[in-house]
Structure 1
Amino acid sequence: MDRLRALEVFVEVVKRDGFARAAEALDTSPANVTRYISDLEAHLQTRLLNRSSRKMSLTSSGEALFERAKSILDDVAEAEAIVSSAALQPHGVLRINAPLSFGVLHLAPLWAKFMRLYPQVELDVSLIDRVVDIVEEGYDMAVRISRAGAASNVARKLATSHNVLCASPDYIQQRGMPRSPADLLQHDGIGYSYAATADAWHMLDAAGQPHSVRMPCVMHTNNGDTARAAALGGLGIIWQPTFLVGADLRAGRLQRVLPDYHLPEMDVLAVYPSRRHLSAKVRVMIDFLVQELSGTPPWDRVA
């Protein structure tokens, strides 16, 4: 018995909810599908499917095998795609979506190096802060910064994005330095419109105890650079990633606020539609970004 083929047939039967539909999808006969399922059950010495003339359902053993078999088949498909695409020269238009500020500050300086390595790839880069549907909008891949991951796509982590509270020295001098999260209620915040928690700022103290403050914001913006500029102008306190404000903190243009409190971190992800049939141009771009952003990311390195 070809066990890999048997697993493929079993998964297709479950997905298609029937032997005949699975046979059609696999371009084989229902008799062959029945034989594979029977041989697989005999090999495993357990029933995988409860079958009647009108209904089919998974047994508990079938449920366990189905989830694992799907994962195995995905891994096999990914390995085949890597091997087959390795022989292909990356070429053609590569459409990438990325967040605006991150794309300008940390991706734009990398594109020339990438294109020197892969001259037959033509980059088409769109910088948009909203989360796009990469399939619906025709992108080959996206770079995202998120705690939510990428539920409907496949993602590979590139780096960690650390968040901090900070304000200008002039603001701190005029309004005082907050000593606890509760002190933030006496200050002005600059809110980020795309934040999942809106104006609720969550953090952990040194003992791991959670604290939450609904920050009184005097301004909101959907762009991190605008929030940064407002903070540099002394308007208030911002919650922003170090990839945006790290240089300002090192130069003293901004000061950390509540540095002993830990803010949730975000993942910088390369997101693409599927592991199956991953094109050479997407594969080499992801590998390139992993290499460039590995270890301590550039925005957190001390020069």
Structure 2
Amino acid sequence: MDRLETMKAFVTVAELGSFTKAAEKLATSNQLVSKYVSQFEEQLGVRLFNRTTRRVHLTQEGEQCLQHAIHILDSVHDMENHFGEIQKAAKGLLHISAPVSFSTLHLAPLIRDFKKQYPEVGVNLELSDRKVDVIEEGFDVTLRIGHLKSSSLIAKKIAPVRLVLCAAPSYIEKYGAPTHPKELNNSHFLHYSYMDYSASENPLMKVLRASSQSNQSGLAANNGEMLMAAAIAGEGYILQPTFIVGEALKQGNLKTMLNDFELETMGLYAVYPHRKLLAPKLRAFIDFISSYFGDPPYWDHY
């Protein structure tokens, strides 16, 4: 039975002093109101009313419970009004910047579901892996991946982002599974050209940093999906976020290596100019995306 309904029935009976009057106000039957109140008493394990043939009176426990119940119902009412107003008021064009691979793999369903809930909000989405200037370039919000430095912008973490080293089973079968980063073949590293390899002192990152600087005959690209395709074909190993390689890992097309040397988890952030006085369209989007991908995010379920 719905706890809010039982609580609402209890408060109405307490305020009106009558099950019959409470039933009339709630547009339901006397029997159902009585059932709700009894259920509420069972949930709490206390008697809330002393009943007589003419009137019902709150017990001492009922007096205490009434204040809590009123506060809870008022809070729920305020929350419903708050989000109802956002949904009604959210309108206009929302300018969003987001990373290319993340967007092509994961953002389309989110935008579709967001538009269903907020049909009066238009979305102008620009895909780019460069670090855009949110204010100067006129974006309402940008999605960024990494370890964000302190700035005047507001950054809300949306989801964790894990980086994993992986290769095709055929590559591992041919060259063996390394037990330490030093065993990696530098010339086989398929490296992402936008990666900041100086950002960590992890032993794995140190080796990959040297590989990216010294490897003149390998493959470098500014697109993780292209690098993943090369890795699946057995051309080398990659360091990529699980939101790109998660499905390939799930299907067995790639396998992780050197898990004991996994890098510090990064984050997917929504970055926007101000915390206060957010436009309803932006507040609606931030609230919507905050819980959309799950915890842990669905791409880590492999």
State the TM-score, normalizing by the size of structure 2: 0.66
Report Cα offsets for 1:186-219 as digits up to 9, x if no partner: 5610111111126x87536xxxxx8721225411
Q: 1:215 aligns with which of 191, 204, 211?
A: 211
Aligned to 2:180: 180
Where in structure 2 are the equivalents of 1:15-164 lying within 5 Å? 86=86, 89-149=89-149, 151-164=151-164
In structure 2, relative to structure 1, the CA distance for the partners of 1:152 and 1:229 (3 Å cut) is farther
- 2:190 match: secondary structure: strand
Quick check: which one's strand share is greater?
1
Partner Cα distance (1:172, 1:187) in 2: 15
**Is the CA contact (8 Å cut-off) linking 2:186 and 2:211 kept in structure 1?**
no
Aligned residues: 214
- 1:126 match: secondary structure: strand
Partner Cα distance (1:225, 1:211) in 2: 20
- The alpha carbon displacement at 1:151 in A equals 2.1
In structure 2, relative to structure 1, the CA distance for the partners of 1:182 and 1:150 (3 Å cut) is same
Partner Cα distance (2:270, 2:236) in 1: 33
**Is the CA contact (8 Å cut-off) linking 1:187 and 1:237 kept in structure 2?**
no
**Is the CA contact (8 Å cut-off) linking 1:202 and 1:263 kept in structure 2?**
no
Where in structure 2 are the equivalents of 1:182-201 lying within 5 Å? 182-185=182-185, 188-197=188-197
**Is the CA contact (8 Å cut-off) linking 1:192 and 1:224 kept in structure 2?**
yes
- The alpha carbon displacement at 1:301 in A equals 2.4
- 1:157 match: secondary structure: strand
**Is the CA contact (8 Å cut-off) linking 2:154 and 2:275 kept in structure 1?**
yes
Q: Which amino acid aligns with 2:288?
A: F
In structure 2, relative to structure 1, the CA distance for the partners of 1:128 and 1:256 (3 Å cut) is same
- 2:260 match: secondary structure: coil
Partner Cα distance (2:87, 2:233) in 1: 53
Q: Which amino acid aligns with 1:137?
A: E
* Aligned-pair Cα RMSD in Å: 2.3
**Is the CA contact (8 Å cut-off) linking 1:103 and 1:127 kept in structure 2?**
yes
The answer to whether structure 1 residue 250 and structure 2 residue 246 are counterparts is: no
Partner Cα distance (1:87, 1:135) in 2: 25
- The alpha carbon displacement at 1:152 in A equals 3.7
Aligned to 2:286: 286
Partner Cα distance (1:161, 1:222) in 2: 18
- The alpha carbon displacement at 1:146 in A equals 1.2
Aligned to 1:52: none
In structure 2, relative to structure 1, the CA distance for the partners of 1:255 and 1:106 (3 Å cut) is same
Q: Which amino acid aligns with 1:275?
A: R
Partner Cα distance (1:178, 1:201) in 2: 20
Quick check: which one's helix share is greater?
2
The answer to whether structure 1 residue 203 and structure 2 residue 197 are counterparts is: no
Report the identity percentage.
39
Q: Which moved more, 1:231-240 or 1:255-264?
A: 255-264
Aligned to 1:226: 226
In structure 2, relative to structure 1, the CA distance for the partners of 1:227 and 1:276 (3 Å cut) is same
Report Cα offsets for 1:199-241 as digits up to 9, x if no partner: x87536xxxxx87212254111111111111111211110000
**Is the CA contact (8 Å cut-off) linking 2:164 and 2:239 kept in structure 1?**
yes
Partner Cα distance (1:236, 1:87) in 2: 48
In structure 2, relative to structure 1, the CA distance for the partners of 1:186 and 1:107 (3 Å cut) is closer
- The alpha carbon displacement at 1:95 in A equals 0.6
State the TM-score, normalizing by the size of structure 1: 0.65
Partner Cα distance (1:125, 1:225) in 2: 20
In structure 2, relative to structure 1, the CA distance for the partners of 1:122 and 1:87 (3 Å cut) is closer
Aligned to 1:275: 275
- The alpha carbon displacement at 1:138 in A equals 1.1
- Greater C-alpha radius of gyration: 2
